[in-house]
Amino acid sequence: MIAALLFAAFAALMVIGVPVCVALGVAGTLAIVLSNQDVAWFGLLAVPQNFYAGLAKYPLLAIPMFVLVGSIFDRSGVARRLVDLAISIVGRGPGMLPLVAIAVAMFLGGISGSGPACAAAVGAVMIAAMSRAGYPGSFSASVVAAGAATDILIPPSIAFIIYSVLVPGASVPALFAAGMVPGLLAGFALIVPTVWLARKHKMGTLEAHLPRPPFWASLRQASWGLAAPVLILGGMRLGWFTPTEAAVVAVFYGLFVGMCIHRTIKLRDLYVILREAAELSAVIMMVVALAGIFAWALSTLSIIDPITHAIVNSGLGEWGVLALLIVLLMTMGMFLDGISIFLIFVPLLMPIANAYGWDPVWFGVILTLKVALGQFTPPLAVNLMVSCRIARVPMESTVPWVVWLLGAMFLVLVAVLVFPQLALWLPHHLGY
Amino acid sequence: MSRPDVPVEPAEPVEPIIPVEQDPAVKVPLALEDWLAVGVLAILALITFVNVLVRYFTDQSFAWTEEISVFLLIVLTMAGGSTAFVRNHHIRIEAVADTGSPARQRRLALASNTVVLLFFILLTVLSVRLVIDEYVYEETSPAIGVPTWWYSIWLPVMAAAIALRTLGTLRRLLRTGAR
């Protein structure tokens, strides 16, 4: 009864436009009051305690740091130089510019950890270039949004950091390693329909005759950007730094490249970069903190066990339950962003995963792949929102293109479901 | 995001070309929380970076800085969260609230901001209780040994700031309706 009320209150608040974080906090608070009616202060002191405890976790420091990395590399001029290098390799033939957009988005995925930041960086360079070459804005926006969605799978990734805070059994390095192969596969899977669509509709023929940029000069220009993922991922792999430290090293490396090498970041831009990153990380962490209250209310109401029990004994079988979970998460993903989905559903889903003996790392990759799909599934698609704003096209116009890309990435999700080794081989091989 | 500080002619196009967004007409400048959040984020990055350097060159670790970092993380969340409430940047479902007639949008905005206001008033009151408990029982922090209320006092202060900001948002909403 109280549990039903918890979810009903949450859903109602969300629909009228209350921010997710406050809706979680209010629903959690209501549940605490209702289940503690005979206790002094209705047990409400748990509210600030859980708020504080939800935030006071050192691993969460990685979130503002990786958000900051994203804001810095957005402006560091790295994306433009990577695009030049990629064009010098593949040229401007039919379907090649969108391929470049996806490849550069995947590469930036190895530096920054959030999809929208990557969509902004790649979109700012590629969407204008693609429209000059004759690709429609809605197509470019779809390609950039989908390519940037691989960002949360390819390490480093903010989504994995949050999952790891919620699930003690899954370490950040193991998750990062596990996301690598599915992330690359997702990127390659996106390239196929993109190139096919571009050729089928004869897009992008306007600038095909332009000369390619010189390869060696482009390589030299792009080298600072090319070294960044080596530094971040290699440094973590070699045990030089923890994920948080890797992020902070990337922050100073990005600032050095942006301010001293490419000269795209001026001193006064620092304030804007920091403010943007501070606000974005606060938005994420506010959800983390208030979801702590919600999760605590859920756990004290002891409703998770009966639900888990009912689901496991429902006769659907392991695959049936998995299919059901995917459908549920896909539906939620149309209205909620990935981080909120993690914070609301992971505490509910982990007992089910444990009941079936699913590997927590594999399950994390599956959930993240799902969230990546959600990042470019209209109507609520954070990446598409960014790329459509840059391309100045309405989101509805992207639907005919985006469905193909969604289909391609969905096949990768199915592949990782059927062959868990796609995710688990690399972390096992590296010994995490 | 409003970006008034961007130079008029950057060396190359500033990469994220997102249209400039005006801040709402607030009485108390948002720069207050902005500067707090910016400062805290910069200090967090510096502390963590110095930690890496110190560990490399001296084999010592600054474990006690973790406590300060965690505390700064909370200040960052509250300060950045406060401006995000004013600028309406928090994650929310816009499909229902931001469509339909202006009158309906205004009603829903009033309702949702009232919920936010009440929640943060409650959080302020409850966290004052928490701070008083910590003060009375003289709890000290595990790593540095300072009284924990030095840290937790920021929770009610910032929660009250968010409540006041939301009150301001409500006042602006009511005014636009009166006209």
Summarised one tens digit per residue, pLDDT across range A71-116 is: 888 888 888 899 989 999 988 888 899 999 999 999 988 888 778 8
Interval A232-246 mean pLDDT: 85
Q: Which residues of B touch A335 (CB under 8 A)?
A: 93, 95
Helix%, strand%, coil% for chain B, nearest 5: 65, 0, 35
Mean pLDDT of the region B18-22: 62
CA distance B179 to chain A (A): 24
Backbone angles phi, psi at A116, to 5 degrees: -60, -35
Across A324-338, B16-30, B103-117, least confident range: B16-30
User: Mean of the per-residue pLDDT values for chain A?
Assistant: 88
* Rounded Cα gap, residues A17 and A345, in angstroms: 20
Using a CB-CB cut-off of 8 Å, the residues of chain B touching A61 are 44, 48, 69-70, 73
State phi, psi for B59 to the nearest 5 degrees.
65, 10
Interface mutation target, options B72, B93, B114, chain A, most CBs of A under 10 Å:
B93
- Please give the structure tokens belonging to residue B67: 């406590």
In this complex, how many residue pairs, one in chain A and one in chain B, have their CB atoms less than 8 Å apart?
Answer: 229
Lowest mean pLDDT among A230-239, A257-266, A328-337, B86-95: A328-337
Say if CB A207 and CB A132 are below 8 A apart.
yes
What is the percent of chain A with per-residue pLDDT over 90, rounded to a whole number? 35
Which of A3-12, A99-108, B5-14, B103-112 is least confident? B5-14
Q: Report the alpha-carbon distance of residue B37 to residue B32 in Å, rounded.
A: 9
CA distance A161 to A375: 17
Of A150, A228, A157, A244, nearest in space to A190 by CA? A150
Tens digits of residue pLDDT in A171-196:
999 999 999 999 999 999 999 999 99
pLDDT of residue A313: 84
Q: Which residues contact A418 (CB under 8 A, 6 or more apart)?
A: none
Amino acid identity of residue A12, one-letter, is: A
Interface probe for B, chosen from A286, A341, A390 (most Cβ of B below 10 Å), is: A286
Rounded Cα gap, residues B38 and A282, in angstroms: 11
d(CA A194, CA A192): 5
Residue given tokens 């920054």 in the structure block: A112
Q: How confident is the model at residue A333, as a pLDDT?
A: 76
Q: Average pLDDT, stretch A329-342?
A: 80
Q: A115-132 and A137-149 are packed helices; what angle lies between their axes, rounded to 10 degrees?
A: 150
Arithmetic mean of pLDDT, B43-51:
91
Which has the closest alpha carbon to B89: B177, B1, B179? B1
Q: What is the DSSP track for B3-40?
A: -TTS-SS-SS--S------PPP--SS-THHHHHHHHHH
Q: Classify A36 as helix, strand or coil.
A: coil
Q: Of A333, A380, A385, which Cα lies nearest the Cα of B93?
A: A380
Give the chain B residue nearest A79 (alpha carbons): B15
Q: What is the rounded CA–CA span in Å between residue A150 and residue A369?
A: 8
pLDDT confidence of B15, banded at 50, 70, 90? very low
Neighbouring C-beta atoms of residue A309, cutoff 10 Å: 13
Indicate if the alpha-carbon torsion angle B24, B29, B31, B33 is positive or negative.
negative
Residue in B closest to A71 by C-alpha: B16
pLDDT of amino acid A408 = 95
Q: What is the pLDDT of residue A168?
A: 84
- Among A104, A279, A281, A296, most B C-beta atoms within 10 A, so best to mutate, is A279
Judge contact between A193 and A403, C-beta under 8 A: no
Q: What percent of chain A is modeled with pLDDT above 70?
A: 100
Which residues of chain B neighbour A120 with C-beta distances below 8 Å?
Answer: 15-16, 18
What distances in angstroms separate CA A146 from CA A114, A142, A183, A404, B27, one per listed residue? Answer: 13, 6, 12, 10, 41
Task: Tell me how crowded residue A113 is: count the other CB atoms within 10 A of its CB.
Answer: 30
Beta bridge partners of A272: none
With a CB-CB cutoff of 8 Å, which residues 36-95 of chain B face chain A?
A: 37-38, 40-42, 44-45, 48-49, 51-52, 66, 69-71, 73-74, 76-81, 83-85, 87, 89-95
Please say if the pLDDT value at position A293 is more than 50: yes
Question: Integer distance in angstroms from the first to the last C-alpha of chain B?
Answer: 27
Instruction: Look over chain B and give the mean of its residue pLDDT values, rounded to a whole number.
Output: 83
pLDDT by residue (tens digit) across A124-149? 888 988 888 889 999 999 999 999 99
B3 CB within 8 Å of a chain A CB? yes
Residues A363, A187: Cα–Cα separation, whole Å? 20
Contact B129 A279 (CB under 8 A): no
- The listed range with the strongest mean pLDDT (A317-321, A409-413, B20-24) is A409-413
Chain A: closest CA distance from residue B145 (Å): 17
Residue A147 burial by CB count (10 A; 0-12/13-18/19+): exposed, middle or buried? buried
Model confidence at B178, in pLDDT bands (50, 70, 90)? low
Nearest chain A residue (CA) to B77: A282
What pLDDT band is residue B9 in, cutting at 50, 70 and 90? very low
Could you tell me which residues are beta bridge partners of residue B140?
B147
With beta carbons less than 8 A apart as the criterion, state whether A163 and A239 touch.
Answer: no
Range A283-297 average pLDDT: 89
Q: Which tens digit of pLDDT belongs to each residue from B61-78?
A: 677 788 889 999 999 999
What is the C-alpha separation between A106 and B25, in angstroms, rounded? 40
Integer Cα distance of B148 and A383 in angstroms: 41
CB contacts, 8 Å: B19 with chain A: 389
The vertex-A287 CA angle with A73 and B141, nearest 5°, equals 95
Is the CB of residue B82 less than 8 Å from the CB of residue B158?
yes
Residue A17 distance to chain B (closest CA, Å): 5
Band (B179; pLDDT cuts 50, 70, 90): low
pLDDT at B86: 93
d(CA A264, CA A262): 6
Q: What is the identity of the amino acid at B57? A: F
Position A336 scores a pLDDT of: 76
Residue B147 bridge partners (DSSP): B140
Q: Are the Cβ atoms of A48 and B115 closer than 8 angstroms?
A: no
Q: Which residues of A touch B40 (CB under 8 A)?
A: 278
Mutation pick from B91, B117, B139, B141 vs chain A, by most beta carbons of A within 10 Å, is B91
Q: Which of B80, B109, B111 sits opposite A282 (nearest CB)?
A: B80
Range 111-140 of B in CB contact (< 8 A) with A: 111-112, 115-116, 119, 122-123, 126-127, 129-130, 133
Q: Enumerate residues 6+ apart whose C-beta is below 8 A from A293.
A: A24, A25, A28, A29, A32, A46, A47, A50, A51, A54
Task: Write out chain A residues lying below 8 Å of B111, CB-based.
Answer: 16
Say which of B81, B112, B130 has its CB closest to residue A286. B81
What are the chain B neighbours of A23 within 8 Å (beta carbons)?
115
